[in-house]
Chain A
Amino acid sequence: MTSVTDVSPARPAFRLTRAFQGLERLVVPALLVAGWEAFACSGMLPPALLPAPSAVLHALGDWVFGFDETTQTYSGHWLRDALASALRVFGGFALASFFGVLAGVAIGWSRLFEKTLEPTLQMLRPIPPVSWIPLAIIWFGIADKPAIFLVFLGAFFPVLMNSIHGVKTVDHNLVRAGAMMGANGRQMLTDIVLPAALPAIFAGLRIAVGSAWMLTVTAEMVAVKSGLGYVLWDSYYFLRYDIVLAAMISIGLLGYLSDLGLKAIMARTLRWQQTTTVQGRVG
């Protein structure tokens, strides 16, 4: 660990590039926004159809802080809307993670579960979660439940597939080593197979959290009367494209933050993996 970090900052040229390292990821977004602003100001499209970034920012600002009520009924309600969506994401994602890992490990580990459970699940998997919306509404009505159900469907399968894969590809010799040290069936699962499959499981969770946001927003457009997706769809009816865009940005930002959070948990849990990077092992 030490040799890599000790060597690189020695040269001043390195220090300079390091100062810009944080900035380089801003270049593309800055150019995009600048181009968009210029295009919107040129008047080629009416501002109602393509609001300038400054207008979108204004709408977002009012939606968050409620300073001049340009966003009318939404003014100052961003936190409530974002929280409503985030709770649905969290609820569906938590359920999907729990059942996805449970079913995935069972299928990956036991022939019995593989034979009995997997065909059904694999048949359900190609059905787009969105196509469940009609059923979700008649089963659960218009509220949080259909949204959570859809999020669950969208997040469950990535977790399931990666958990199955993770368990199935556990190094055969690790299992032998465990048996040699006297592990019983349960210990083999909890102390050897599960930790060994964790990197794959986390990969599944990261894919799942992305699908979770997509499905929350979809559900809110159709089956729920609150949340970022609802604001987005509602503003579309009122031709408020600035709010539509502000909602899109909010969703993107929150999705990105959830992934960052998950990555942080992953980095903590899989600390043992960190030294095996492209920079190579030490020693």
Chain B
Amino acid sequence: MAAIELRNIVKVFSDKRRGRDLLTLDNINLDIEANDFVCLLGPSGCGKSTLLNIIAGFEQATSGRTLVDGKQVERPGSDRGVVFQQATLMPWLTAIDNIAFHLKLKGIAKAERYDRAMEFIELVGLRGFEHHHPSEMSGGMNQRVGIARALLMNPSVILMDEPFAALDAQTKLEMQEELVAIWQKRRCTIVFVTHSVDEALVLGNKIVVMTRRPGRIREAVNFDLPRPRDITSPEFNDAKRHILALIREESTRLAQAS
């Protein structure tokens, strides 16, 4: 059984003001295996974030079935950790309180909360900043807190919605390396949304290329280049060429159609 099963997912947004419907996701079928690192790659507006939100339970598909660990997704829950594009931390809580927030909601005592959260502070390299508020930390540090917060819940899948898009190039590279290290160490299933071909190829072992609106899956590419990946190696470039060709083919088809 796959960790995530998407069956015939259709999402239609009704635009009430203009009185028309917008087909955003058109019949998505996808299986994601446990411990996969899957990148959903596509241009802006292709519905990749919508698809992620459907898995997270933030949005409901118009039709189709979404199963996580064989269970139908109906609402958000701590079995699916989400890392948002903006860190979306509680600004009134310190780093450690943000990370341990899930434990607080479960009514676990403070000492144990902090004890368990410290492991994740260490994991994301924020030792010494555990009592800082989000406004006192950089965007990259906040995003580390966001990742630690999702990991602490020990979810069966982690859903990431362009979490590094707002970071500078250097921080982004560091965070990508660390994320891969964390994924290798903890063996979890990650679904990572991105519009960057390079990012998808650095991170994923399965890259799902989506088409522009309405969102469909163009191709799911398996990519098992050993890590750490050399982004200048011929294998990396071959894969990049293949994916770029898929995307280009798509845009020519669109140009001809219009």
Contact = CB atoms under 8 A, between A and B. Distances in A.
B79 to A, nearest CB: 9
A283 B138 contact: yes
B13 interface: no
A179 B136 contact: no
Given A195-B90, A272-B135, A273-B135, A173 B105 contact: no
A276 B56 contact: no
A179 B104 CA distance: 13
B135 A281 contact: yes
A174 B90 contact: yes
**Size bracket, chain A contacts:** 20 to 34
Contacts, number: 76
Contact of B105 (A187, A196, A273): A187
Interface string B92-116: 1100000001101110000000000
B135 A276 contact: yes
Contact of A180 (B76, B136, B137, B138): B76
A187 B88 CA distance: 17
Main SS of the interface on chain B?
loop
B136 A283 contact: yes
Contacts of B84: 173, 176-177
B90 A182 contact: no
A181 interface: yes
Contact of A275 (B88, B92, B136): B136
A183 B104 CA distance: 10
B97 to A, nearest CB: 10
B144 interface: no
Contacts of A272: 91-93, 133-135
B76 A191 contact: no
Interface in A46-70: none
A232 B5 CA distance: 77
Contact of B77 (A171, A182, A273): A182
A177 B101 CA distance: 10
A182 B56 contact: no
Contact of B136 (A183, A198, A282): A282
B105 A275 contact: no
A176 B76 contact: yes
B135 A275 contact: yes
Interface of A: 1, 171, 173-174, 176-184, 187, 191-192, 195-196, 198, 270, 272-273, 275-276, 281-283
26 contacts: A171-B88, A173-B84, A176-B56, A176-B58, A176-B88, A177-B82, A177-B84, A179-B58, A179-B75, A180-B77, A180-B78, A180-B80, A181-B78, A182-B78, A182-B102, A184-B105, A191-B104, A192-B90, A195-B90, A270-B92, A272-B92, A273-B135, A275-B133, A276-B135, A281-B135, A283-B136
